[in-house]
Structure 1
């Protein structure tokens, strides 16, 4: 292998390691964000929005990858359990009595900015 190739591969590797998550939404943007699916948007509006769109609540803001990434690393099963059982200030079921586990999974992915992720 040529040195130029090794150097280029190393430079690409190092630059990928420094990739940063997208910037957090502004408070105004967080207030305006909704899932694309109308049913999920309605569930989000009546349960999740009150805490996850307002910075003062202490809940991780919708689409704030810097806040969600450490939680995401715990795994979706843990996040789902925390949502259903409650965790710290998070009330059990996020006060969504009509949400199914699938709804919770979709809402968690939306809020974590991972709508396109299955894991």
Structure 2
């Protein structure tokens, strides 16, 4: 095929597709580009916690998102109910400062730790659970 003929065929095809796209409604376009499937991650259910009718408890948050680092003190994370770990932080920044660090992240801890779907109140409850009794 000659270059001129090839260019003409390609230009015609692009024109036809462009005209078809312009004739589509917004709903048609949305329907055309919608995902064809869904992904289910085992253990990550949308109907738990707040979605199921209320905030999760501090113990629930700790056991599902905080325990990995705060049980062993990974990278300096203050351990559960360890006054020696928590008291200097609380004395320096107060509870609200510690809470803001948990929300925004500090040092090796990312924002909200490993609980990206936790509300601010659930983060607060988890901290209260971890410092309970100190």
TM class by smaller structure: 0.5 to 0.7
Structure 2 regions of 5+ residues with no counterpart? 1-55
Structure 1 regions of 5+ residues with no counterpart? 1-37
Alignment-derived partner of residue 68 in structure 1? 86
RMSD across aligned C-alpha pairs, in angstroms?
A: 2.0
Alignment-derived partner of residue 85 in structure 1? 104
Deviates more, 1:51-60 or 1:78-87: 51-60
What is the total number of aligned residue pairs between the two structures?
Answer: 78
TM-score (norm 2): 0.51
110, 114, 117: which is aligned to 2:129?
110
Do structure 1's residue 44 and structure 2's residue 62 form an aligned pair? yes
C-alpha contact 1:65 1:113 (8 A) present in aligned 2 = no
SS in structure 2 at match of 1:62 = coil
CA deviation after TM superposition for structure 1 residue 113, in Å: 2.6
Runs of 4 or more off by more than 4 Å in structure 1?
none
C-alpha contact 1:76 1:105 (8 A) present in aligned 2 = no
Quickly say closer, same or farther: Cα 1:100–1:70, change in 2 above 3 A: same
